[in-house]
Structure 1
């Protein structure tokens, strides 16, 4: 584009987007044809002189979604805009709302949904509308009972199930036990074993991921302390998925800890056809990358900065 066309493109864009003139009116003002006005507006966008941004809490970045599907091999992706977001809490609420919308529109409707727990999924349960489904039951994927937060995991599963016209099957035992023998004995119990078998029969799985830092729900719930997190990060942990700590390749970093963790195994999750991960915020960039790269999720619902991180920080193409 030469200097004359560049100036005309900028002037045409100003008149079109800021003065709300039609292309015919711009053509008369600039003494050019309306066809050239259209070409100049296209050039202005292609050259990056203008950028259209939809500022709404439910706005999505469609180009990033398309790139994630194409370049990262995802079955589907939902990318929430960060425009106007002033805090990480607000961003988490936006992503949770997007996840609630996605569940509502999911076809075929899952008759049985496997659900993990945590702050993000608690927000998803809160954002779901009554009647989002006409008969979806929920099975809890991993233990969640703790001394510090007795009802969070159960409340998430029950909330999603009741709003979807179904029943919730809970796993009311700790997420992590002190001894491997205790965990093995509990999972061999007839009632607990039946819950885990039911989890294996789910039509779809909904889960989030936690960063390997002191803000982890495992620390808040009393399962781990800061020293445990420091030890896990030294071993390469980037975060936890369904309560299991993984490295950048999605592999378990501490086999002993994993052997004391109650719930659905990650290898089984990789083999499931519909796995929906919901993540938000910069702290979860590394664990989200690990999930996508290792096939732990086939559908990702996240924010645009996380999407750009997964795509190498390049432009969104739109």
Structure 2
């Protein structure tokens, strides 16, 4: 009898989802009541015989979002589908659009938004609609004056987000990393720079991404570090950077001397924030995504389903290991 019901549920699902039959029509075909058809369809879904996939570029993976929140202790999670995606650039574009949608829907609207910079943040600024908010001021939370001509998007990103949100932008007029600690201290003690940093510390919400610990990092592209510098950081345990600060798998800074030459908010400011939104996508950033989420650097994560599944699986294994050693 159980096998018969299972076969009926599959047949009902085929007629409903593939042949576009109504439940009444399926009842007539299978000689069942409409109530029985509905129960068979629900059972087929519960047993995993039905897999529904929404392939619109702005579609979200709600069941994965729920699991990610529950497994990793996040206040919220936004996970986009990679179904039908052609390449990593399209995945990043989808995630950036999801982050822009999330910002637009935020209630209450943050009066001051602190942002980092880089390729992901720049793309978010392009996806935001003009008028996404009515009076959001934007402040840079780490230095972003480029040392090359290739990656000078920090100021442009902040100004674009602010203008589209009908607000003002407070720019941090400093490189991200300086050569000497004394220079960094002098710059941060400057009245204008100090005022921007104070404004950043008082922000209602933060929006940032994370970079991989390899030569593709925007910090390498911007001329702050060389590929050899990053390789040295990796040997010391670095998995990526957050607001210009390289962290290990536990979220700890790996090079304190470099950290002391980095201009901007410390990581503790992100951990202490009520709303801290990380936008991280791609296989190359799985390790740094785990470090960001695991160390409490964000309360909200916007990502792709592959990264989300990696986080869920890793956390589940960690929890099993902890239970086994208890």
Does residue 170 of structure 2 align to residue 169 of structure 1?
Answer: yes
Distance 1:313 1:288 in 2: 11
Distance 1:314 1:35 in 2: 40
Distance 1:105 1:25 in 2: 41
Does residue 214 of structure 2 align to residue 207 of structure 1?
Answer: no
Deviation string for 1:27-60 (max 9, x for gaps)?
Answer: 2212233222222212221222221111101111
8 Å contact kept, 2:250–2:295:
yes
Distance 2:54 2:281 in 1: 19
Distance 1:225 1:88 in 2: 24
Q: Which residue of 1 aligns with 2:229?
A: 228
Distance 1:22 1:38 in 2: 10
Q: Which residue of 1 aligns with 2:254?
A: 253
Distance 2:232 2:242 in 1: 17
Give the TM-score normalised by the residue count of structure 1.
Answer: 0.95
Q: Which residue of 1 aligns with 2:14?
A: 14
8 Å contact kept, 2:277–2:300:
yes
Q: How many residues are treated as equivalent by the alignment?
A: 315
The structure-2 alpha-carbon separation of the partners of 1:72 and 1:9, relative to structure 1 and needing over 3 Å to count, comes to same
Task: Give 1:238 deviation, angstroms.
Answer: 0.8
8 Å contact kept, 2:152–2:222:
no
8 Å contact kept, 2:138–2:167:
yes
8 Å contact kept, 1:308–1:314:
no
The structure-2 alpha-carbon separation of the partners of 1:278 and 1:150, relative to structure 1 and needing over 3 Å to count, comes to closer
Distance 1:30 1:136 in 2: 59
Q: Which residue of 2 aligns with 1:96?
A: 96
Q: Which residue of 2 aligns with 1:292?
A: 293
Deviation string for 1:201-226 (max 9, x for gaps)?
Answer: 11111100011111100111111111
Distance 1:260 1:73 in 2: 32
Q: Which residue of 1 aligns with 2:241?
A: 240
Q: Which residue of 2 aligns with 1:302?
A: 303
Task: Give 1:19 deviation, angstroms.
Answer: 0.9
Task: Give 1:111 deviation, angstroms.
Answer: 1.1
Task: Give 1:150 deviation, angstroms.
Answer: 6.0
Following superposition, which runs of at least 4 residues in structure 1 exceed 3 angstroms of deviation? none
Q: Which residue of 2 aligns with 1:197?
A: 198
Deviation string for 1:169-208 (max 9, x for gaps)?
Answer: 1112111111111111111111111111111111111100
RMSD between aligned alpha carbons?
Answer: 1.6
- Correspondence list, 1:96-175, <5 A: 96-148=96-148, 149=150, 151-175=152-176
8 Å contact kept, 1:158–1:168:
yes
Does residue 158 of structure 2 align to residue 181 of structure 1?
Answer: no
Task: Give 1:5 deviation, angstroms.
Answer: 2.4
Deviation string for 1:226-246 (max 9, x for gaps)?
Answer: 111111111111110111100
SS of 1:205's equivalent? strand
Distance 2:18 2:107 in 1: 41
Q: Which residue of 1 aligns with 2:322?
A: none
- Correspondence list, 1:5-44, <5 A: 5-44=5-44
Structure 1 range deviating more: 72-81 or 112-121? 72-81
SS of 1:312's equivalent? helix
8 Å contact kept, 2:140–2:171:
yes
Deviation string for 1:90-147 (max 9, x for gaps)?
Answer: 0111111111111111111111110100100000000001111111111111111122
Distance 1:180 1:40 in 2: 68
Q: Which residue of 2 aligns with 1:283?
A: 284
8 Å contact kept, 2:72–2:315:
no
SS of 2:309's equivalent? helix
Q: Which sections of structure 2, spanning at least 5 residues, go unmatched?
A: 317-326
Q: Which residue of 2 aligns with 1:81?
A: 81
Distance 1:81 1:314 in 2: 21
